[in-house]
Amino acid sequence: MEAAACPYIVRYYSSWLEDGRLHIQTELCDGSLRGRLKQRQDLLNPKFSEPEILEVLRHVASGLRVLHGLGFAHLDIKPDNILVSRCYKIGDLGLASAAMGTGCDDITEGDCRYLAKEVLQGDLSELPKADVFSLGLVLYELATNPTPLPSNGEEWQLLRHDAKVSILKLSASSQQLIQDMVHFRKELRPSCEELLQKVGVESVQALEEENRRCRAEALRNKQLADEYWQEMLQMKKQELLSSPQALDKPELRRSRTSH
């Protein structure tokens, strides 16, 4: 599957049930964009710089372009679901839906701070553009940190009624880009392909080099995850062999004495 090979989407490796709980093994990441936002709140200037914001845009839009190309929308793009490794990666596909709104019981379960208004109103005709809206608000939040996004009220309404985005520290072109992403008319928002063209990812060579670095990091993280999994299996095995119940089971006693 193309999404599994995309360096901007967190990789899934395996899953299993243990003690009545579902465990999911994914690519190992260093944290989330939400964590980075919180870390910077204690700094003199907690706002993300324009190059940093454009890097988030480039990476997340690249991941969304693949997801949308496969016919799906994420529907819960927010800093909590953007994970950090050598590059930014989209995680938590729990609300992912077919791009035309099928396959999800309740699309409005996403975080209301980032949801486009048309989704809340039941308009599911162009869900990839709802992802673009959510990403636009993520970029806005990075540029205005530590001011939180509203979950309701007048400011929430303004952000969904074509209010002029004014971020003094950003260039006019970047402000306009975010403005276009959060346009109240979904058909006037750019696609992820158009976003990447606007931020200068026409250079195939540069993008391929970035992809190569991210894939190398993903491979390293998989190796670390596999090592951790093997250590956990060994610990579980030793725990079973050391338990009182093991003494009552001949097959476990034989395994124990063979070590």
Residue with tokens 């997801």: 67
199 contacts 54 by C-beta, under 8 angstroms? yes
d(CA 67, CA 90): 10
Task: Give the tens place of pLDDT for each residue, 29-57.
Answer: 999 999 999 999 988 899 999 999 999 99
Q: How far apart are CA 252 and CA 22, in angstroms?
A: 26
Read off the pLDDT band of 249 (50, 70, 90).
low
**Strand-pair category, 82-84 with 88-90:** antiparallel
pTM of the predicted protein model:
0.77
Q: What is the DSSP letter of 184?
A: S
Say whether 138 sits in a helix, a strand or coil. Answer: helix
Query: Which two structure tokens, joined as six digits, stand for 28?
Result: 């190992």
What confidence tens digit (pLDDT) does each residue in 158-181 have? 899 876 777 878 999 999 999 999
Above 60 in pLDDT, residue 202? no
Whether residue 174 contacts residue 50, with contact meaning beta carbons closer than 8 Å, is answered with yes
Residue 171 tokens, joined? 């260039």
Q: What are the tens digits of pLDDT across the range 63-120?
A: 999 999 999 999 999 999 999 998 999 999 888 887 766 555 566 678 999 999 999 9
Identify the helix (H) or strand (E) that includes residue 13.
Answer: strand 12-18
Instruction: Tell which phi-psi region holds residue 122, choosing left (phi > 0), alpha (psi between -120 and 50) or beta.
Output: left
pLDDT at 247: 55
The residue ranking higher by pLDDT, 256 or 65, is 65
Supply 78's token pair: 């927010």
Sheet strands side by side (includes 82-84)? 31-32, 82-84, 88-90
Mean pLDDT estimate for the chain: 84
Query: Does the structure show a pLDDT above 60 at 193?
Result: yes
User: Which amino acids are annotated catalytic?
Assistant: 76
In the numeric block, which tokens belong to residue 150? 């509203």
- Burial class of 82 by CB neighbour count within 10 A (0 to 12, 13 to 18, 19+): buried
